[in-house]
Amino acid sequence: MKKIFLLSVLLLNLIISFAQSGKELLTLDNYLIPVNKKGAIIGKIVPRPRERVTLKDPSNIFTVNKEGYITLKKNISITEKSPEHFQITLQNNKGEKKIFVLVKDNFIRNKVIAHRGAWKNQDASQNSMKSLKKTIELGCEAAEFDVWLSSDNTPILSHDPSTGGKKVEETTAEELFKIALKDGDFVPSLEEYLLHIKSQNKTRLVLEVKASQKGKERCEAVADSSVQLVHRLGAQAWVDYITFNFDAAMRIRELDPTANILYLEADKSLEELKAAKISGIDYHFSHFEKDPDLVKKANALNLKTNVWTVNKEEDMKTYINMGLDYITTDEPELLLKLVEKR
């Protein structure tokens, strides 16, 4: 009898772990390594592994404990001279492996999010490589950008459903990559953006999953492809997600239990968002005007706050004083001047 019971428990566990491996990705709740902090705790493995996990670490400076925390070894700290990032591999006793990139935390925290990159005053197209490079050069906290799927399922950058006279969702990636933008740029892929952001550790990305015009399944597919690519390239440390589409937000959360996801559509209560494990709100400024206590209410629920699109100096001052976590703007040069003065 006991044997049958144990066998059924074992079977149930196997089913659960298979079900999980089909959906939820293995994550860390933090990928940033604090500088000059000996033995620092970096992040916890989520979901907590059922089996023993071993760590492959060519740099020989990290360790994983029984509770699933990745830490620096006891007497080790990283300094300004250390590399910008380190790759580690976690392996369970089934031989399944997952690579993570841990990043030295030199990230800028000045609240300035360049909306579709820094393009307006930089002779660059929105959502282009140049607008991303300018965002980094200026020293913004992050570059916001928009992702669709091409007809052959490649995540592509475009704000509008069409670019260069072609419908993104009806056109192959190969055709889209031929569309010329300003100053020698072409329509970029999400992969190009992720690879470029990983070349530094000061500026991050705010990835908007666009709501497909082809319905719920396709919306979720944009979310799926984006999250899978971020994980495949080990870019989790650099990427937050935003979306107007609640199904897409839920799909991102299903796949990545620790990603920051901010919701753009003000059609749910803060309590509903909290219950759905959304990390915060990213609302048009009219919502913060209408309810001057919105930031306070969000903070009380531990929800992050971002406002768009704030382009006038007076408004920027208002939102800086309101204490939002992020301010999204087409005029990052101006907002940078204002935050630097403070």
H/E stretch holding 56 reads strand 53-56
Determine the distance from the C-alpha atom of residue 195 to the mean position of all C-alpha atoms in its chain, rounded to a whole number. 14
Instruction: Give the residue with the Cβ less far from Mg ion, 143 or 336.
Output: 143
- Using the minimum distance from each CB to Mg ion, give the nearer residue, 105 or 282: 282
Residue 224 CB, nearest approach to Mg ion (Å): 19
Q: Which residue number, 228 or 309, has a Cβ lying nearer to Mg ion?
A: 309
The alpha-carbon radius of gyration of the chain (Å, integer) is 21
The residue ranges that bind Mg ion (CB under 5 A) are 146, 208
Over 164-212, what HEC string results? CCEEHHHCCHHHHCCCECHHHCECCEHHHHHHHHCCCCCCEEEEEECCC
Residue with smaller CB distance to Mg ion, 208 or 220: 208
Smallest gap from Cβ 223 to Mg ion, in A, equals 15
Output the smallest distance, CB 308 to Mg ion, in A. 8
Give least dist CB 146 to Mg ion, A: 4
The per-residue DSSP string of 100-146 comes to EEEEE-----S-EEETTSS-TTTT--TTSHHHHHHHHHHT-SEEEEE
Closest separation in Å from C-beta 282 to Mg ion: 9
Give the pairing type, strands 53-56 and 239-243.
unpaired
Shortest Å, Cβ 18 to Mg ion: 36
Number of residue whose CB is nearest Mg ion: 208
Select 208 or 240, whichever has its Cβ closest to Mg ion: 208
Helix axes 129-138, 190-197, angle to 10 degrees: 20
In the bound state with Mg ion, the residue whose beta carbon lies nearer, of 98 and 115, is 115
CB 168, min distance to Mg ion, A? 14
Of 52, 60, 58, 55, nearest to 43 by C-alpha is 55
DSSP reduced 3-state for 283: strand
Terminal-residue alpha carbon distance, the chain: 71
For Mg ion, which is the closer residue by CB, 146 or 325?
146
CA–CA separation, 178 and 210 (whole Å): 21
